[in-house]
Amino acid sequence: MSIAMPKPSEAVLSRREEIVSALRVIVPGEGVVDATNEMKAFESDGLTAYRQLPLVVVLPDNVGQVSRVLKYCHENDIPVVPRGAGTSLSGGALPLEDGVLLVLSKFNKVLDIDFDNRCAVVQPGVTNLGITKAVEHRGFYYAPDPSSQIACSIGGNIAENSGGVHCLKYGLTANNVLGIEFVTIEGEIVRLGGKHLDADGHYDMLGLMTGSEGLLGVVTEVTVRILQAPETARAVLIGFPSSEQAGECVASIIAKGIIPGGMEMMDRPAIHAAEDFVNAGYPRDVEALLIVELDGPKAEVDHLLTEVEAIAGENGATTTRVSQNEEERAAFWAGRKAAFPAVGRISPDYYCMDGTIPRKELPKVLAGMKAMEKKYGLKCANVFHAGDGNLHPLVLYDANAGELERAEEFGNDILKLCVEVGGVLTGEHGVGVEKRDLMPEMFSETDMNHQQRVKCTFDAKHLLNPGKVFPQLHRCAELGRMHVHKGEVAFPDLPRF
Amino acid sequence: MSQLRQAQQSDQSESRTYAPHSIEELREVIAAAVSEEIPLAVEGTASKSGLGRPVQAGATLSMRNLSGVTLYEPDELVLSAKAGTPIAEIEEMVDKAGQRLEFEPNDYGPLHGMGPGLGTLGGVIACNLAGPRRLKQGAARDHILGVHAVSGRAEAFKSGGRVVKNVTGYDLSKGLAGSYGTLAVMSDITIKVLPKAEAETTLVLRGLSDEEASAAMAQAMGSPAEASGAAHLPALVAKRVSDGTLGSDPATLIRLDGFGPSVEARASHLGKVLEKRGKLEHLHGAESKALWRDIRDVQPFADGTDCPVWRVSVAPTVGHSLVMGLRRHAAIDAFYDWQGGLVWLRMEGGEAEAELVRAGVKEIGGGHATLVRASEQVRAATEVFQPQPAALADLARRLKEQFDPVGVLNPGRMG
């Protein structure tokens, strides 16, 4: 592990037995796991390069237990790492040696489906796809669809503000959550929002909680917007002799006022890896491939397909294929959705990055990555949420050949380039431990201090998920100090504006 | 002695206004206010000064000189502007490029007797405004990508960025949206813009009761028609929009917008479903736009008075029950947006009746009631915003202390 985690507290480690006993009182039965072999399953999340056994695993099954566990940990200064399904790609649920791992997987019930108000109330352990499954008999679905949707939980989606291929049109998790119930580290149960919209005159705590990576509170109930599924969806595969032309095509589509349901781009190495793996029917003789999906009423989809085909032609497309039925549409997507495992077949290991850039900077960033391939002697395959500029470069390496460090440096350079061209470190995977130490590339000390003041609002003792997101957590008392004091500030002449 | 203090002492009747030209000057004004412990009333053009609790300030911080669009890239769906930029200027600019602000910010000017088109981008974001399209596309907070701001600690900071997909660090932009200028003063704001619709049609069902309208709107919103507005104007309210052209019969309105062939197909399909519920009419293009603008801006209650008006957000299907319940105790005029979940209430008796309204909201399962129009005297004596449960109020107080420990930014505005 190449990242420094907070030093474990000796005081906590030495009291392990006592802590386990106390937790067993709060969560009776099999809800407390302390045997090493059983805790193994929880030692990492989707970012498997990092592993750590927790102090103890607790699996509560009601909000009262969550509240009492947190209150106990708060009173006893024990760190807590919340975990949903453990699919984080940034190490958000990486355990701490001296921390309780609070697993919400028993919160797996759909509590209320309200079609007239177009919302569903679920427990946080329900999977993303599970929400859609619960409402699809009436033609509804839950829009954000991260690739891990079959496994990832809605609670984790809130922690990470998860996206997916459809978020340019339908928004991220933050735009689709109406309310939550959460528990503070002090054990207070707080409800935000519900079936109504917008808490006018209240701070947007829901907005702050969403994407807070488990550092502010533990979500115990979620109300989400559900939507009527589009009447039709059709995809078109468009091949280009260069990535630049593909990028131009994306810009032209949007300039025409078209916001496709999904718009994905793959480069040649990714196309070949995917085609070898699933035979999706992708053209092999192109440098870049776009998958554009149009969804909505049939009349709209037909109309826009014609437009998109014309735009593709104007931008130098060499192949264009429209899906003629659902099977074909699924096949078009199968290649893209299998891109990660497909790359996994051609390389012993790969490192997936997640920067977002202003789309117009794509040629510059792709050229930069080409130069980095040479510099590091490693290959890179690219899949890309083209509509919103979210890149997923996959750096190919072999850990057994000692290439991990080089791959991480390669990845870091990519992210630095993303920031340099006006983009950001992470579009949807979160900061976690993985990108924690890169935060200063994007934020000044003052920027991060203001973010940490939110942390201090919710968790002044820094007990919830420490070691994630922020390279260094300042003590709240230190952050609380005002650097402007009455009479001390040099302020001779306030200008007359 | 600083000029802030001098200003306060030299002119008790009319407090001094500071209007910085740069983020550094903005920071200096706030630093001075902190140093002297002089509370600032933060404003753009003061067009929303009638919203929230009255602020007891020693000086005014005006953002009017921090104005102008600094970046607009239609192909990237992104626009950045200084906080004091008139929202009308931004709307005109994006309109020329075939785009719009998807959250359709409402304009409180007419309701507050100030005339339309006066607000600024900073004000729109700080009050988290949103119009009828909120139901489908979100509020201001859903379209803000990044901010530069100066907190009540007189420190300049940024959050977010200029790309639409970003989860790097905490989303302070959302925290500032809807914070009524009480945490930090935004100086630069980046928002997402989207293509405007090529065509627009409104289906108008006539003669429904509030309850029937609620069912019709739920059916429309739950269909694949992708409606971007669902409102109900009861009898007599209907004639107070669109210069009376709608007539006085109750009107239940479903807005469809998008590409021409799509709107046509959806209107035809949804029309067939809805016409079983009542007499169906159609409004197209400019007529439809004018109608929704009036609903957005609460035109039916823009009567030049300060007779109390509430904006109540509840679960859509129970909005009409709230109104029915309240009518047993008070004379009220009401109409509905957001599928019935946004209830605009005018208290005909002239009293705000806060306890009555909030008890009504509680009875139907909870929500938020905001007193959006009342005299300053009434707003000073009433909890303008929905009171928060203790644990939440405690978090709000702590957040305020973290960002504005001395309490110089709009103290008391949020209650």
State residue B61's pLDDT score. 97
* Cα→Cα distances A472→A419, A452, A466, Å: 20, 10, 9
Q: How far is A227 from chain B (nearest CA, A)?
A: 7
CB-closest option in B165, B265, B402 to A163: B165
A120 to chain B: which residues are within 8 Å by CB? none
Q: Given this model, what pLDDT does residue A48 score?
A: 86
A151 burial level (CB within 10 Å; 0-12, 13-18, 19+)? middle
Which of B168, B187, B394 is the best substitution to test chain A (most A C-beta atoms within 10 A)?
B168
Same domain, A258 and A358: no
Same domain, A324 and A355: no
Residue A3 maps to a domain: no
Instruction: Round to whole Å and give the CA distance between B269 and B272.
Output: 5
Q: Are residues A15 and A95 in the same domain?
A: yes
- Report helix, strand or coil for A9: coil
pLDDT of amino acid A164: 87
Range A274-302 average pLDDT:
95
Say if residue A400 is in the same domain as residue A454. Answer: no
What's the burial of B17, exposed, middle or buried (CB within 10 Å: 0-12/13-18/19+)?
Answer: middle
* Residue at a domain's end among A73, A103, A133: A103
Do the Cβ atoms of B261 and A303 come within 8 Å? yes
**A79: CATH:** 3.30.43.10
pLDDT confidence of residue A483? 62
From A281, A308, A341, the end of a domain falls on: A341
Give the model's pLDDT for residue A49: 84
C-alpha to C-alpha distance for B100 and B107, rounded to whole angstroms: 15
Q: Residue A172 sits in which domain range?
A: 110-228
Q: How does residue B11 score in pLDDT terms, banded at 50, 70 and 90?
A: very low
Asked whether A104 and A84 are in contact (CB, 8 A), the reply is yes
Kindly list the residues from chain B whose CB atom is less than 8 angstroms away from the CB atom of residue A229.
224
Q: The dihedral of CA B266, B267, B271, B272: what is its sign? A: negative
Q: Nearest CA to CA, how far is B75 from chain A (Å)?
A: 5
CATH number at residue A366: 3.30.70.2740
Q: Which two tokens stand for residue A45?
A: 């999340």
What pLDDT is stored for residue A491 in this prediction?
A: 41
Same domain, A126 and A31: no
Closest CA to A96 of A107, A106, A84, A82: A82
* A–B interface: beta-carbon pairs under 8 A: 331
Residues of B in contact with A359 (CB under 8 A): 75-76
Mean pLDDT score of chain A, rounded to an integer?
94
Residue B4 has what pLDDT? Answer: 54
The dihedral region occupied by A279, where left means phi > 0, alpha psi between -120 and 50, and beta the remainder, is left
The angle at the Cα of A90, spanning A70 to B192, to the nearest 5 degrees, equals 100
The neighbour count for residue B256, using CB atoms within 10 Å, is 27
Closest CA relative to residue B41, chosen from B68, B14, B3? B14
Query: Distance (Å, rounded) from C-alpha B92 to C-alpha A44?
Result: 51
Give the pLDDT score at B14. 56
Is A129 in the same domain as A87?
Answer: no
Convert the pLDDT of each residue in A67-111 to its tens digit: 999 999 999 999 999 999 999 999 999 999 999 999 999 999 999
In the block, tokens 């949707």 appear at A149
Measure B245 CA to nearest chain A CA, in Å: 31
At B304, give phi and psi (nearest 5°).
Answer: 75, 5
Q: Which amino acid is at B320?
A: H
Note the pLDDT tens digit of each residue in B171-203: 999 999 999 999 999 999 999 999 999 999 999
In this predicted model, what pLDDT tens digit does every residue of B329-364 receive, in sequence order? 999 999 999 999 999 999 999 999 999 999 999 999
pLDDT at A250: 95
Same-domain pairing of A424 and A474 = no
Residue at which a domain ends, from A228, A255, A285: A228
The CATH number assigned to the domain holding A140 equals 3.30.465.10
Enclosing H/E stretch for A67: helix A63-75
User: Position of tokens 């989606």?
Assistant: A157
Interface touch B391/A189, C-beta < 8 Å: yes
Query: How far apart (Å, rounded) are the C-alpha atoms in residues A374 and B402?
Result: 47
Average pLDDT over residues B96-124: 96
> Are residue A319 and residue A239 in the same domain, yes or no?
yes
| In chain A, % of residues over pLDDT 70 | 97
Give domain status of residue A441, yes or no. no
* Claim to verify: residue A215 and residue A313 sit in the same structural domain: no
Chain B residues within 8 A of A89 when measuring between CB atoms: none
| Yes or no, beta carbons of B395 and A205 under 8 Å apart | yes
Q: Tell me which chain A residue has its CA closest to the CA of residue B383.
A: A201
Q: Which residue of B has its CA nearest to A469?
A: B169
* Rounded average pLDDT over A318-333: 94
Strand order in the sheet with A119-122: A110-114, A119-122, A218-225, A177-183, A189-193
What's the mean per-residue pLDDT of chain B?
95
Q: From chain B, pick out residues whose CB is under 8 angstroms from the CB of A159.
A: none
Distance from CA of B3 to the nearest CA of A (A): 6
pLDDT digit string (tens) for A110-124? 999 999 999 999 999
Residues whose CB is less than 8 angstroms from the CB of residue A204 and which lie 6 or more positions away in sequence, other chains included: B128, B141, B174, B175, B177, B178, B179
Query: Which residue in B has a C-alpha nearest to residue A166's C-alpha?
Result: B165
A4 inside domain: no
**What are the tokens at A81?**
């790492």
Instruction: Show the domains of chain B with their CATH numbers.
Output: 69-195 (3.30.465.10), 199-296 (3.30.70.2190), 299-381 (3.30.70)
Over 70: is that where the pLDDT of A494 sits?
Answer: no
Model confidence at B415, pLDDT cuts 50, 70, 90, reads confident
Q: Work out how many domains chain A is built from and give that number.
A: 5
What is the per-residue pLDDT for B13?
Answer: 44
- Model confidence at A3, pLDDT cuts 50, 70, 90, reads confident
Confidence check: pLDDT of A315 > 60: yes
Distance from CA of A414 to the nearest CA of B (A): 15
**Per-residue pLDDT tens over the stretch A206-225:** 999 999 999 999 999 999 99
